Amino acid sequence: MVLIRSEVLLTLGLAATLGAANRVSVATTTEDLAALAREVGGDRVEVDSMARGYQDPHYVEPKPSFLLKLQKTDLLVVVGRELEIGWLPPLITQSRNSKIQAGGSGHLDASVTCEVLDLPTGPVTRAMGDVHPTGNPHYWLDPANGRRIAKAIAERLGQIRPADAAFFVQRYNDFDRRLQEAEKRWDQQMAPYRGRKVVTYHRSWPNFAKRFGLEVVDYVEPKPGIPPTPSHTLDLIGRMKREGIKVILVEPYFDLRTPNSVAQQTGGEVAVLLPSVGGVKEVKDYFQLFDYDVRLLTAVLARVK
Amino acid sequence: MLRKRIFLAGVLIASRLVAQDTAELLARMKAMEQRIQSLESEVQALKGRPEAAAPVTVSTEPQAQSAEPLVSSPVATAGSKVFNPDMAAIGTFVGAAGNGGPRAIPALEMSEAEVSLQAIVDPYARADFFLSFGEKGVNLEEGYLTLTSLPGGLQARVGKMRAGFGKVNTLHSHNVPWIDRPLMTQNLLGGEEGISDAGLSLSRILPAPRQVFLEATAQLFRGDSEGVFQSYRRRDVGMVGHLRGYRDLAESTNLDLGASYARGHSPAGPELVTQLYGLDATLRWKPLRRAIYRSFLARTEMVWGHSRLPGEVSQPFGYYVSGEYQLGRRWFAGGRFDRSERLLDSGLQDTGGSIVFTYRPSEFSQIRGQLRRTHYAERLTANEFLFQFQYSIGAHGAHPF
């Protein structure tokens, strides 16, 4: 009896080990990309994200512990548009993994097939703050781009593991169907608030605002990456009062003192929206991210008119 | 009759053709008129735009219009310039006040302008050059090729580089958390330049218990590092070995440990050998949710030397302990205690302490002040105030952790 049980355990253990070994190893820079990779990869991929959803993805420490994953990963998916420029390049160089080097078969820049906004049309200098010269990298906050990213990942997974290509396509089709249904719901919920003016802390929301018809008129940061200054804050308060703007959208990793003080003086409200999956514990996938943000935003927009 | 019919048919066809031509002409003229009007309005709009604002507009239009299910948004390129390396310059201006002692910094000095050129060479390698321009000349601080696609999990570097001995020796001047370098570096590791030489480096991530990062590095150098090693003959090469162990203790905390060894010929004579042994430990804390506002780093390094001299052996020891706490998004405060004997005379010991404040207006500039007190072996005490302005332009690549 004991012998049979140990044989069963051994077989199960072996199967689990072989299963893990058979899975495509995927590393992503953000949890949003990881969530989309899980959608299309299912149980045939093993996905890990380097940045956490409640972390500012511009400022991630390039810890050597990330190298343990990167040295063996089959596919690295990055946001691109210089979002990770401050931390990812040395990790890729040190990974000793030729597949994930720029141009390698396992390096996927998710932005390439997406609609990217805020492209500078003239010379860019740092007098404009920490601008991204190749466009705003927060593009995953439009479900249409989420669909494009998922498709690009599914295609690349199919190239890496041709035997499972049909499986990844089928998973993508299923994701696409569910996303279309969810989009109708989100569009419906946001419809009454189209055209509403809002202020955001950082320029994280152009795709989200465009998709749901919000108008971002100003920012708490005087320039991208520059902390709030007293003079800009006073100007912002004046503008919000003049134009009757009542809502300030803030990412969870920014200090709330300035936005709260601005909201207090303008009779407005601060909404801590999540720019990423994993921003709070209960938001575990791409659908829950928009469910959370749309629910919170519609409640705030309904409260302050 | 037939002739009449033919004539009538001809007139009809001709009139139709004329009518068709006229209609076409009118349509084209109308389109041209509209085009002229649209161009006129564009010219007017451009004329009305303020001169300074014109070049720095940010388009909210997408790079590629949404077209389900996929669109193509290639990263913008600028013709052949796309192959230019990433270029940057980092300027460091230093000033000092107070009584200086043996390692006095001038009252005012443009201590360094570091120019970096970095690019991927081909699918197998990348190259990094760091040129250091001082007030009196130019120096190749580092210039190496990194082979990124070697088999067996190996990585190689070839060129001139800072040796992988400990932590502070690997850092460029603009990346150390103080204005100066510790007494240990000054006395045992060759000062500002540190152990830096032309050579080969090979490293590999070693198998280790789960979640432990273990990396071994072996380096072979020509054997010339001013103040530490000197090569008299071709065979007088130097070598450096480093073992690094790293582990995340928690999401926000990690521990980084290292052991180093270096060997080369002494500047005191061709038959004399100097060996250095080092240990380093770094504890970092950075809460992820507030990573841009709060962090703490504690670090210590210890170096033991064994330097043969004519008729005697010098066995100096040096160390420093330092900490840096981030007070807010722009403010950092730190301190350092250091003590070190001298490489060629372990009987001489210097001791110092510093308090450092750093203000960073943005990621690309910082202003730093340091109060430094040093007791030199020559029975001299120096109290100094150092200040530094540092700024970066261009696309300087991120530094390894």
Nearest Cα residue in chain A from B120: A102
Residue A183 near chain B (CB below 8 Å): no
Residue B153's identity, in one-letter code, is G
What is the CA A7 to chain-centroid distance, rounded? 44
Contacting residues for B387 by C-beta, under 8 A, at least 6 apart? B94, B95, B96, B179, B367, B368, B369, B370
Instruction: Report the C-alpha gap between A169 and A152 in whole angstroms.
Output: 11
Confidence of residue A72 (pLDDT cuts 50, 70, 90): very high
User: Could you tell me the two tokens for A56?
Assistant: 């500012």
Distances (CA, A) of A38 to A28, A49, A78, A150, B184: 11, 11, 15, 9, 50
Judge contact between A270 and A255, C-beta under 8 A: no
Q: Which of A63, A121, A254 sits opposite B401 (nearest CB)?
A: A63
Contacting residues for B399 by C-beta, under 8 A, at least 6 apart? A90, B171, B172, B175
Q: Can you tell me the mean pLDDT for B307-334?
A: 95
Residue B157 near chain A (CB below 8 Å): no
Residue B46 near chain A (CB below 8 Å): no
- Tell which A residues from 79 to 98 touch B, by Cβ distance under 8 Å: 80-81, 85-90, 93-96, 98
Instruction: Report the C-alpha gap between A195 and A205 in whole angstroms.
Output: 15
- Tell which A residues from 34 to 53 touch B, by Cβ distance under 8 Å: 52
Q: Can you tell me the mean pLDDT for B179-188?
A: 96
Residues of A with Cβ-Cβ distance to B401 under 8 angstroms: 61-64, 90
Q: Can you tell me the mean pLDDT for B74-82?
A: 57
Residue whose structure tokens are 């950075």: B286
- Convert A217-245 to b/e letters by CB count within 10 Å (16 or more is b): ebbbbbbbbbbbeeebbeebbeebeeeeb
Of the candidates A32, A86, A80, the one whose C-alpha atom is nearest the C-alpha of residue A62 is A86
Task: Return the SS3 of B82.
Answer: helix
Q: Can you tell me the mean pLDDT for B365-370?
A: 97
The number of C-alpha atoms within 13 Å of B96 and in the hemisphere containing its C-beta is 19
For B34, list phi and psi in degrees, rounded to 5: -65, -40
Confidence of residue A122 (pLDDT cuts 50, 70, 90): confident
Residues of A with Cβ-Cβ distance to B122 under 8 angstroms: none
Give chain B's count of helices (H) and strands (E): 2, 18
Residue B122 near chain A (CB below 8 Å): no
Confidence of residue A2 (pLDDT cuts 50, 70, 90): very low
Of the candidates B116, B114, B117, the one whose C-alpha atom is nearest the C-alpha of residue B85 is B117
Residue whose structure tokens are 């810890």: A63
* A246 pLDDT higher than 80: yes
Task: Determine if the peptide bond prior to B267 is cis (ω within 30°).
Answer: no
Query: What is the pLDDT, as a whole number, of residue A18?
Result: 46
Interface A–B counts its CB contacts (< 8 A) at 176
pLDDT digits (tens, 9 = 90+) for B239-266: 999 999 999 999 999 999 999 999 999 9
Judge contact between A76 and A108, C-beta under 8 A: yes
Q: Rounded to the nearest 10 degrees, how much is the dihedral formed by the CA atoms of A91, A95, A99, A105?
A: -10
Query: What is the pLDDT, as a whole number, of residue B191?
Result: 87
Judge contact between A55 and A163, C-beta under 8 A: no
Nearest Cα residue in chain B from A209: B60
Residue B293 near chain A (CB below 8 Å): yes
Instruction: Report the C-alpha gap between A55 and B87 in whole angstroms.
Output: 29
Query: What is the pLDDT, as a whole number, of residue B399?
Result: 74
Residue whose structure tokens are 């003080």: A261
Residue A222 near chain B (CB below 8 Å): no
How does the average pLDDT of chain B come out, rounded?
85
Strand ranges of the sheet holding A269-272, from the earlier edge strand across to the other edge: A215-219, A197-200, A247-250, A269-272
Residue B360 near chain A (CB below 8 Å): no
pLDDT digits (tens, 9 = 90+) for A172-186: 999 999 999 999 999
Provide the 8-state DSSP code for B137. Answer: -
Confidence of residue A95 (pLDDT cuts 50, 70, 90): very high
Longest dimension (CA), chain B: 137
| Type and span of the H or E element at B24 | helix B2-48
Distances (CA, A) of B302 to A174, B39, B165, B279, B393: 59, 72, 11, 5, 35
| Type and span of the H or E element at B156 | strand B154-162
> Could you give the ipTM of this predicted complex?
0.88
Q: Tell me the nearest-neighbour CA distance from B381 into chain A, angstroms.
A: 39
Whether the predicted model's global pTM rises above the 0.95 cut = no
CB contact under 8 A, B123 and A103: yes
User: Could you tell me the two tokens for B279?
Assistant: 């240990």
Distances (CA, A) of B374 to A218, B102, B144, B298, B323: 51, 10, 36, 21, 18
Q: Can you tell me the mean pLDDT for B9-27?
A: 50
Q: Can you tell me the mean pLDDT for B230-243?
A: 97
Residue B82 near chain A (CB below 8 Å): no
Chain B interface mutation, best of A94, A109, A173, highest count of B Cβ atoms under 10 Å: A94
For A299: left if phi > 0, alpha if psi spans -120 to 50, otherwise beta; the answer is: alpha
- Tell which B residues from 295 to 354 touch A, by Cβ distance under 8 Å: 329-330
Confidence of residue A42 (pLDDT cuts 50, 70, 90): very high
Instruction: Report the C-alpha gap between B28 and A193 in whole angstroms.
Output: 44
Query: What is the pLDDT, as a whole number, of residue B192?
Result: 85
| Type and span of the H or E element at B43 | helix B2-48
Residue B59 near chain A (CB below 8 Å): yes
Residue B49 near chain A (CB below 8 Å): no
Judge contact between A141 and A208, C-beta under 8 A: yes
User: From the CB of residue B159, how many other CB atoms can be counted at a distance below 10 Å?
Assistant: 17
Residue A62 near chain B (CB below 8 Å): yes
Task: Return the SS3 of B258.
Answer: strand
Contacting residues for A288 by C-beta, under 8 A, at least 6 apart? A277, A282
B325 beta partners: B296, B333
Judge contact between B233 and B271, C-beta under 8 A: no
Degrees (nearest 5) of the Cα angle A244, A250, A253? 165
Q: Is B78 exposed, middle or buried (0-12, 13-18, 19+ CB in 10 A)?
A: exposed
Query: What is the pLDDT, as a whole number, of residue B65?
Result: 36
Query: What is the pLDDT, as a whole number, of residue B13?
Result: 45
DSSP per residue, chain A: -HHHHHHHHHHHHHHHHHHHHHSEEEEESSHHHHHHHHHHHGGGEEEEESS-TTS-TTS----HHHHHHHTT-SEEEE--TTTTTTTHHHHHHHT--GGGSTTSTTEEEGGGGS----EE-S---GGG-S--TT--S-GGGSHHHHHHHHHHHHHHHHHH-GGGHHHHHHHHHHHHHHHHHHHHHHHHHHGGGTT-EEEESSS--HHHHHHHT-EEEEESSSSTTPPP-HHHHHHHHHHHHHHT--EEEE-TTS-SHHHHHHHHHHT-EEEE--SSTTSSTT--SHHHHHHHHHHHHHHHHHH--
* B168 pLDDT higher than 80: yes
Per cent of chain B over pLDDT 90 is 71
Query: What is the pLDDT, as a whole number, of residue B100?
Result: 82
Residues of A with Cβ-Cβ distance to B56 under 8 angstroms: 120, 122-125, 128
